[in-house]
Amino acid sequence: MTVARLYIVPAAEGKSAEMEEALTELAAIVEKKDGSEGVELLRDLGNEHRFILIEKWASEEHHAKSFASMPDNALDGVKAAAGGPPDGAYYDYLKR
């Protein structure tokens, strides 16, 4: 059963390009992790400083294991461009 880990990520004013680059790099790392079933990255059409990152996982356990094994600097770019903490939660797919 695929689960989604969804993050709403705010970029700091003037840092949306940096956030897009950092999230794209992070997505490339996540996609290679065991249990990853893909990543989607979206930008809010009405607010260029708001991004949504959707990670698809075989299970919550795969996500947790992957997160624990991330390279030390994997989130540096995201942190440097952040306009606040991300909001994240797990979701079940009800319809695809």
pLDDT at 58: 96
Give percent above pLDDT 70 in the chain: 100
**Is residue 1 classed as helix, strand or coil in its secondary structure?**
coil
> In the CATH hierarchy, which top-level class contains the domain 3-92?
alpha beta
CA distance 80 to 18: 8
pLDDT value of position 28 = 96
| Residue range 8-18: mean pLDDT, rounded | 98
Mean pLDDT of 60-73: 93
Q: How far is CA 17 from CA 23, 42, 56, 96, in A?
A: 10, 13, 24, 30
Contact 14, 80 (CB under 8 A): no
Indicate whether 96 pLDDT > 90: no
Domain boundaries, given as residue ranges, for the chain: 3-92
36-44 β-sheet, strand order: 36-44, 47-57, 3-10, 87-92
